[in-house]
């Protein structure tokens, strides 16, 4: 009985500790004196998942919640399936597009514009001669629902985690969850063209890279 | 048996007291808190006289309140209301950011401005989504930016802007709504002042501006 009570208390304590977790914005703000010491940055871009469409999932209506937790699960599954269908229709126009290489290139370009020497590093960055590593993990990328009453309208979006850490010791000096949306809203079916891979996504990646570099250089 | 009934009544009363919060409106204090001494890339643009015009283009249904309060089943039970004028808070936040970066915000009626920044507010809203393990609270601000030399001229820039702040919570109190809305405003201003297109457009406007 006492054991069960302890477990219950532990669960309550854990849920209280887990409450109020921001999932966007700056988690660790860079210190101006810290950034002035960093003269060279190694850039490492990782990717968690492939192209996705988040249209129906962004419209979670709370209808499922009326039927309890199982209802929430069912609604989420139905919406995921609807998004998956659209993904499959758009994927052929993407060709071999992968955001990792262009984002690495654009980050290096904009850091160099900010008078910081850059290099490309492989996973871990142990062998780099740079002062710090900028590790950007693309958590989710693709097309996201646009705000407003118009249904089925999406824009290019990248949800990334950016982290700058010292190459020696790996102490994190900056971390941010960035949700970049390019604002070019169109019906989802209009993205079934080569323009997506040749123009829309590369431009969005350039703007994202600029934004991330600005976040570091202007804390 | 008596003890069991006492426990039941106590649990019922506690449940009623806690759930009562869901049915009353949340009144929040909206505020923009800039980081002390912080500069953004806006400071790299030559100082400009900017006529800032903020227009309320939110849907009529979203002007009286700034969010929904929901119960555990996802039904809307009450509203989130601002203690101050939303448009004033929003406009002041942009003015503060421009001012902190060396620009002067003037009235659009003043004839000698370098550039006109028209900000059309489309959404200023908080809502919650119930997930399996937690409740996700989302604060969203959406707007359109139109930047031009003079009102009526072809704009140098016309694009949407956004600020989103999300928090995962187990319990949602009134202060949680305030927190996500103020977080969204901070993110909005941050995105505005670090947007490469806006910086470029202001630089372009600055090239032909009259010296201050």
Please tell me the distance from the alpha carbon of residue B98 to that of residue A128, in angstroms, as a whole number: 39
> How many C-alpha atoms does B161 have within 13 Å on its Cβ side?
29
- pLDDT at residue B189 is higher than 90: yes
Mean pLDDT, rounded, for B171-179: 86
Instruction: Give residue A19's pLDDT band: very low, low, confident or very high (50, 70, 90).
Output: low
Whose structure tokens read 């900056």?
A: A174
Mean pLDDT, rounded, for B111-134: 87
Q: What is the pLDDT of residues A121-161, one digit of tens each?
A: 876 556 778 899 999 999 999 999 887 777 788 999 999 99
Is A65's CB within 8 Å of B74's CB? Answer: yes
Is B167's CB within 8 Å of A20's CB? Answer: yes
Residue A43 backbone zone (phi > 0: left; psi -120 to 50: alpha; other: beta): beta
* Token digits of residue A68: 């309890």
Percent of chain B with pLDDT over 90: 51
Is A69's CB within 8 Å of B160's CB? Answer: no
Smallest CA–CA separation between B62 and chain A, in Å? Answer: 12
ipTM of predicted complex: 0.74
Please tell me the distance from the alpha carbon of residue A22 to that of residue A35, in angstroms, as a whole number: 24
- Tell me the domains of chain B and their CATH numbers: 2-207 (3.40.50.10610)
Please tell me the distance from the alpha carbon of residue A66 to that of residue B154, in angstroms, as a whole number: 50
Residue B183 confidence (pLDDT): 94
What residues of B are in the A interface, CB distance below 8 Å?
35, 38-41, 43, 59, 70, 72-75, 122-123, 128-132, 134, 136, 140, 142, 159-162, 164-171, 176, 179, 183, 186-187, 191, 194-197
Contact indicator for B41, A214 with CB cutoff of 8 Å: yes
- Tell me the domains of chain A and their CATH numbers: 20-53+97-217 (3.30.160.150)
Q: What is the pLDDT of residues A65-117, one digit of tens each?
A: 566 666 667 777 777 777 888 889 998 989 899 999 999 999 999 999 888 88
Radius of gyration of chain A (CA): 21
Instruction: Give residue B8's pLDDT band: very low, low, confident or very high (50, 70, 90).
Output: low
User: Which has the higher per-residue pLDDT, B179 or B22?
Assistant: B179
User: Which has the higher per-residue pLDDT, B159 or A72?
Assistant: B159
Mean pLDDT, rounded, for A155-182: 91
* Token digits of residue A51: 């192209």
């Amino acid at each position: 009985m006492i054991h069960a009570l302890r477990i219950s208390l532990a669960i309550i304590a854990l849920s209280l500790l887990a409450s109020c977790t921001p999932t966007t914005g700056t988690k660790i703000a860079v210190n101006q004196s810290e950034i002035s010491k960093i003269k060279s940055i190694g850039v490492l871009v990782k990717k968690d998942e492939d192209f996705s469409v988040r249209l129906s999932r962004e419209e979670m209506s709370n209808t499922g919640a009326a039927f309890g937790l199982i209802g929430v699960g069912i609604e989420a599954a139905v919406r995921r399936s609807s998004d998956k269908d659209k993904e499959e229709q758009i994927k052929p126009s993407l060709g071999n597009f992968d955001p990792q290489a262009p984002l690495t290139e654009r980050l290096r370009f904009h850091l160099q514009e900010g008078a910081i020497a850059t290099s490309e590093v492989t996973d871990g960055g142990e062998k780099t001669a740079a002062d710090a590593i900028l590790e950007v993990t693309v958590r989710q990328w693709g097309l996201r629902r646009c705000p407003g009453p118009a249904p089925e309208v999406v824009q290019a979006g990248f949800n990334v985690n950016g982290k700058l850490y010292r190459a020696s010791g790996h102490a994190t000096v900056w971390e941010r969850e960035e949700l970049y949306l390019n604002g070019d809203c169109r019906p989802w079916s209009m993205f079934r063209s080569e323009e997506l891979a040749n123009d829309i996504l590369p431009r969005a990646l350039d703007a994202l890279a600029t934004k991330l570099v600005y976040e570091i250089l202007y804390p | 048996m008596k003890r069991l009934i006492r426990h039941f009544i106590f649990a019922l009363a506690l449940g009623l007291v806690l759930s009562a919060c869901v049915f009353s409106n949340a009144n929040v204090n909206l505020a923009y808190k800039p980081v002390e001494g912080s500069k953004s890339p806006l400071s790299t643009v030559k100082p400009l006289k900017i006529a800032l015009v903020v227009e309320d283009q939110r849907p009529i249904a979203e002007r009286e309140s700034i969010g929904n309060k929901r119960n555990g089943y996802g039904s809307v039970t009450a509203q989130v209301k601002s203690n101050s004028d939303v448009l004033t808070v929003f406009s002041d936040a942009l003015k503060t950011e421009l001012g902190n970066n060396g620009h002067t915000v003037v009235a659009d009626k003043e004839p000698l401005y370098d550039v006109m920044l028209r900000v059309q507010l489309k959404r200023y809203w908080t809502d919650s989504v119930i997930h399996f393990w937690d409740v996700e609270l989302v604060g969203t601000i959406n707007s359109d930016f139109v930047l031009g030399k003079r009102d009526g001229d072809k704009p140098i820039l016309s694009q949407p802007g956004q600020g989103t702040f999300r928090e995962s919570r187990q319990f949602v109190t009134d202060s949680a709504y305030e927190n996500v809305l103020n977080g969204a405003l901070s993110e909005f201003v941050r995105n505005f002042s670090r947007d490469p297109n806006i910086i470029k457009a202001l630089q372009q406007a600055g090239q032909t501006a009259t010296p201050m």
